[in-house]
């Protein structure tokens, strides 16, 4: 008898509580620090699109499985083929967020552990962020010879420009603590260790209990306040990346030579 093929693991969990109107969306690749591969990117897009049509869901909590990381950006094992034209670039993370998929229901990010690099595509499209006291935020792009373009642009929408610049420019040498992230506006609340999801869910339940049209209109209004500047900045990002990134082989060498233990400080 031939054994059935193994069932592929599902990289995303969506759990809905119809009584409260809250859905919890969980990045479920803890063995890879919830890094985003092609399957997870596809699952995120499908989840946001599905939630648009689910009238039983009125607010969403976004988090990552495990206690090590919320998300560490794109999985470095993912191969992203690029067009040969210097005027075109494919970025698989550009369409993983709720706003990019036309979801105007409020999304609250609950961060535990590391949030870095491409995680800011998700945090930048959350309506606000709650982090537990052990969460840290950093962007390693410059350390590995890559331009922090979209990530830095998302950060600059949520933090004072000098703080966004420091986080992006320091690369993997420095991590922002949850407390410091709270002080500069990236995070709206800091909880005890492991408490971010519960705190985010409490907020989501309150919001879900309020009139849906008013809530979604308010989400859209806040987004509209920064959307034009974001779109203008994003238009420049592909050119900055094409000009400033080292060749992939050199990036890989820098990544492979990173110091054991990280060699970073937390501020």
pLDDT at 86: 65
Helix ranges restricted to H, the chain: 38-52, 119-123, 150-158, 161-169, 178-183, 196-208, 212-244, 248-256
Residue reference for tokens 């990280």:
262
Tens of pLDDT, residues 95-107: 999 999 999 999 9
pLDDT at 68: 96
pLDDT at 124: 97
Tens of pLDDT, residues 43-63: 999 999 999 999 999 999 999
- How crowded is the C-beta side of 81, counted as CA atoms within 13 Å? 2
Q: If you average pLDDT over residues 191-206, what whole number do you get?
A: 98
Query: Helices 161-169 and 150-158 meet at what angle, rounded to 10?
Result: 150
Residue 79 has pLDDT above 80, yes or no: no
- pLDDT, mean over the chain: 93
Residue 3 has pLDDT above 70, yes or no: no
Residue 7 has pLDDT above 50, yes or no: no
Least confident of 80-94, 99-113, 134-148, 245-259: 80-94
pLDDT at 151: 97
Query: Helices 150-158 and 212-244 meet at what angle, rounded to 10?
Result: 140
Q: If you average pLDDT over residues 115-143, what whole number do you get?
A: 97
Residue 188 has pLDDT above 50, yes or no: yes
pLDDT at 260: 76
Residue 34 has pLDDT above 60, yes or no: yes
The span from the CA of 33 to the CA of 115, in Å, is 9
Domains of the chain are 12-75+92-195+202-260 (3.90.226.10)
The span from the CA of 74 to the CA of 92, in Å, is 9
Percent over 70 (pLDDT), the chain: 97
Query: pTM of this prediction?
Result: 0.93
Q: If you average pLDDT over residues 146-172, what whole number do you get?
A: 96
């Amino acid at each position: 008898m031939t054994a059935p093929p193994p069932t592929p693991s599902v990289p995303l969990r969506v759990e809905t509580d119809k009584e409260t109107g809250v859905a919890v969306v969980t990045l479920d690749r803890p063995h890879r620090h919830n890094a985003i591969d092609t399957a997870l990117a596809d699952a995120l897009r499908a989840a946001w699109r599905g939630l648009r049509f689910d009238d039983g869901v009125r607010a969403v909590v976004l988090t990552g499985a495990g206690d090590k990381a919320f998300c560490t950006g794109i999985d470095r094992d993912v191969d992203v083929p690029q067009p040969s034209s210097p005027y075109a670039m494919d970025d698989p993370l550009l369409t993983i967020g709720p706003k990019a998929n036309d979801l105007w229901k409020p999304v609250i990010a609950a961060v535990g552990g590391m949030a870095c690099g491409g995680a800011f595509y998700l945090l930048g499209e959350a309506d606000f962020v709650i982090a537990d006291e052990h969460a840290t935020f950093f962007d390693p792009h410059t350390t590995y010879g890559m331009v922090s373009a979209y990530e830095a642009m998302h950060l600059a929408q949520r933090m004072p420009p000098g703080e966004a610049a420091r986080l992006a420019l320091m690369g993997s040498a420095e991590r922002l603590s949850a407390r410091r992230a709270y002080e500069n506006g990236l995070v709206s609340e800091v909880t005890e260790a492991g408490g971010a999801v519960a705190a985010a869910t409490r907020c989501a339940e309150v919001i879900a209990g309020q009139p849906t049209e008013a809530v979604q209109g308010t989400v859209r209004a806040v987004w509209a306040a920064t959307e034009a500047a974001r779109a203008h900045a994003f238009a420049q990002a592909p050119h900055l990346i094409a000009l400033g990134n080292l060749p992939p082989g050199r990036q890989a060498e820098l990544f492979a030579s990173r110091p054991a233990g990280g060699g970073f400080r937390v501020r």
